[in-house]
């Protein structure tokens, strides 16, 4: 009986332990299917804009689900943002976008400053995908 009670208590402790996992990426996210065609991104986006990157602000932080004492040992998440100047709106707009960050499970911000990209977004201040535009 004592052994059965110990097993029961151990199971209760395991089941009551908090979960530290991050929420999974949706099937529509870039992380789930990065090679989808532009037409799928456009159908999913609330806004599409061709914009020139005029600045990039670096911000690399440990993932939220890292609980080690020395956070430099954690896997890092690039949450850098870009400041853009909109050249033209292709869908939605004219929102006053100045700084964009990636959405959850989105691609890392472009590193090249002075280059034009087509940004696809759901929220006014974040993009779900971007692609380089020919000059």
Q: Binning pLDDT at 50, 70 and 90, where does residue 95 land?
A: low
Separation between Cα atoms, residue 119 and residue 84, nearest integer Å: 10
Residue 103 has pLDDT above 70, yes or no: yes
Rounded to whole angstroms, how far apart are CA atoms 103 and 86? 19
pLDDT digits (tens, 9 = 90+) for 64-94: 777 777 777 787 777 888 999 999 999 987 7
Q: Can you list the alpha helix ranges (DSSP code H) found in 1-135?
A: 2-16, 38-44
CB 84 within 8 A of CB 54: yes
| Distance from C-alpha of 95 to C-alpha of 32, rounded to nearest angstrom | 28
> Which two three-digit tokens encode residue 104?
């959850």
Give φ, ψ of 66 to 5 degrees: -95, 120
* Contact between residue 59 and residue 79 where contact means Cβ atoms under 8 Å apart: yes
Is residue 16 pLDDT above 50, yes or no? no
- The count of C-alpha atoms lying within 13 angstroms of the C-alpha of 103, restricted to the half-sphere facing its C-beta, is 19
What is residue 62's predicted lDDT score, i.e. its pLDDT? 78
Fold of domain 33-132: OB fold (Dihydrolipoamide Acetyltransferase, E2P) (2.40.50)
Of 16-20, 43-47, 55-59, least confident by mean pLDDT is 16-20
Alpha helix (H) residue ranges in 17-92:
38-44
């Amino acid at each position: 009986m004592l052994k059965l009670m110990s097993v029961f208590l151990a199971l209760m402790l395991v089941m009551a332990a908090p979960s530290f996992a991050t929420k999974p990426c949706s099937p529509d996210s870039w992380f789930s299917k990065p090679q989808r065609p532009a037409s799928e991104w456009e159908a999913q986006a609330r806004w599409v804009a061709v914009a020139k990157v005029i600045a990039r602000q670096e911000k690399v932080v440990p993932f939220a689900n890292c609980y080690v004492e020395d956070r430099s040992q954690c896997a890092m998440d690039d949450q850098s943002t870009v400041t853009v100047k909109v050249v033209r709106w292709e869908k939605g707009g004219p929102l006053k976008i100045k700084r964009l960050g990636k959405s959850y499970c989105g691609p890392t911000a472009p590193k090249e400053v002075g280059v034009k990209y087509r940004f696809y977004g759901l929220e006014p201040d974040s993009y779900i995908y971007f692609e380089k535009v020919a000059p």
